Structure 1
C-alpha cells in the first residue's frame, strides 16, 4: 500500500466526521508514524484503528457510563422551598456554645477585640437573672460591668429586657441599648460608656452603618455613632430591617409592614427616610397550603435576601410559627422554615445571618438553631439557655 492509496482510504473513512472528532487526531498520529519510518504493518494497524474510531463516532450512543465521580455534593434535605426542623435536632460543636458558661472576667478589666454575642440571663418571670455576658472572639466570657441597664418601657408601662436582638454592632465592637429618655452606647474594645439624652420611651435599636436608629411607639432617632448627634427620622423601629453591614452608609432602609393580603416591602432613602418604593410580598412560589400571615421580631438583610420570623399557614395548622426568607428586590418569598407544632407564640425570632449565608434563629423555649435555606439543613447551636441572645452581624 503506497502513500497515495493510504490517503484515499483515510479520506473515505473520515469524510462524514467533523474535524474536531477522533478521526482527525488519528490521521495526525498516522503522519507522525510515517515520519518514524515504521513498517507497513504498523501503518496498516493505524488504518484499522482509524476505521474503528470512525465507526464508534458514528454509532448511536448507548447508555452513558455510570458516574464514578467522588466529588462531594450538597444534598437538599427538602424538596422545594419549605424546610422543617428535624425532630432529633443535631448539635455539632459551635463557638457560640460558650455563652452557656458563666463570666470569668469583667469587661472593665479585659475589653474585647470583637464580641461574637451578648446574652442576658432571665428567670421564669422574664426578669434579669444575672449580669449581661459578653462572648469575645477569644472565647472568653466577660460580664458587662461598666453600666447598669434598666428594662425598657412603653407608654402603657409594659417592660422588657434592655438586651434585644440587634443591640450588638455588626463589627462586634460596640453595643447600643435603648433606655427611657436616653441611648447608652458601650465601646466593648475600651469599656467606655456614652450616654445620649433623648426624649421618650425608647425600646429598640437598629445599627445602620455609621448610625444607630433608636425609638419606640411614637418617634425614632438617628444617632451618629461617633459624635452622638441625633435627629428624628421617619421610620419605624418595629418594622425596620437591619441593613447588610456590607451595603454602605447610603444603602436604602427597608421596612416590612402589613398583614396577610397586604404584606408590603417598603424602601426608604438612607438619610431622610423618604419612601422610594413599595411592592407587595408574594408567596406564589410556596406549595399549597403554605402562606405567610404576618411578620414579627427583627428582620435582617444579607445581600439581596431578607430573613424574618412570621406566623404562617403550614401543612398542619394556621397560625404556625415559621421563618421566611424573601428576595429583598422583588418581595417574593423564596424559602420558609416550618418550625413545627407545640412552640411558644413568638418563639422563633431571627438573630441574624452567619458568614456562610445561614440564618440563626431563636428556637424556644431556650435554644438557638442555624438554618441553611438553600439546602434546608437545620442544626442546633444552643440547647438550653434561658434569656436573650444578641449576635454580631
Structure 2
C-alpha cells in the first residue's frame, strides 16, 4: 500500500486524479494476487500462477508514495512545516486504518480457531500481545511469542502491514534528511539504493527467486525490504522534482492495462549468471513504473464520471490494502481444509472474498477512517492552519 496511501495534498495544490485511480487499480490487483497466493499456499508452496508478479504492486506503491509526498511537502519545509507537524499528518493519514486492519486480523484469527498453520493452539494472551504490538507497529521476529501464525511474518495478524512499516521508515528518513537533499544529492541516493536493490534482485540474495522480500525479519529480509522501499520511494521524489507533464490521451487506461500485463507475466526461470526474474523485476521498478507515474500524472480526467471513478479508486485503495488480508487468512484456511488448489474449484468463494474485501474496505473508510481522521485533524492540526 503506503507508500500505499497518498499524502494529503495541500488545499492550494490540485490532485493528480489519475494517480489516485491508478493506485486503486493496483490495490485491486493486489487482492487478486493474494487469492492466487492462497491457492499456491494451500497446494504446499507451488509457484503463484496467473498474476505471477502481483507482489511488484508494493514497489509501485512506494514510487507513487515518493512522488506524491515530494509533490505535497517538499516546498512546505521552507514555510511552516515542522517535524512534529509532518509526523502528525502522516500518522493521522495512515495509522487509523493500520489499527483497524490489526483488529480485523485478531477477529479473523479467533474465528479461525486461534491456531497456527500447523494446528497448534495459541493462547489468548499471545493473541492480545500480537494485537498490542501491531497497533504500536512493533514487528515480530520469527519464533517470537506474538508470531501467532508461526510462519515468521512481521505482523502475523495482518501480513501486508510489513510494507506500511517500511513506509513509516521512508517517511521518517524523508523528514529527517531526504527533503533537505539537493536534486544532485537525491539522484545519488537513488543511484546508490538502486545499485543495492539490483544486487539483491540479480543475485537472489534471500533465495526466493523473486523480490518478494521484506515481510519477515528472517535472514536478509529486513535489508531487502529497506532497499525495496528506499529506491522507488526516493526515485518517486526525484520524479516529482523534475516532473513536466506531457500530452497523452487515455493515460489512465494505458497505465492500468500495462500494470495488469506486467503483473501477469509468468515467472522467469534461470539463475545463472544472474537471476532472470530479477532482471525483469528491475526493469519494472526502475524503468516502467516511473514511466507509468509520469504518464498518469500528465493525464487528466475528461468528465465528472471519470473523476468520480478515479476518486473512488483512490479513496478505497489504502483501506482495501489495509484490511483485505485478514479475510484472505480465512480463505486460505478454507482452501486447505477442503483441499482446493485451482481457481476453477473455488471461483465462487474467491469472488465472494474479493467483493467482500471491497465492501468491507468501503464501510471502514466511510464509517471509521474518514470520521476519525477528520476528528484527529481538527484536534491536532487546526491550530497549524
* TM-score when normalising by structure 2: 0.25
Going by fraction, where is helix more abundant, 1 or 2? 2
Going by fraction, where is strand more abundant, 1 or 2? 1
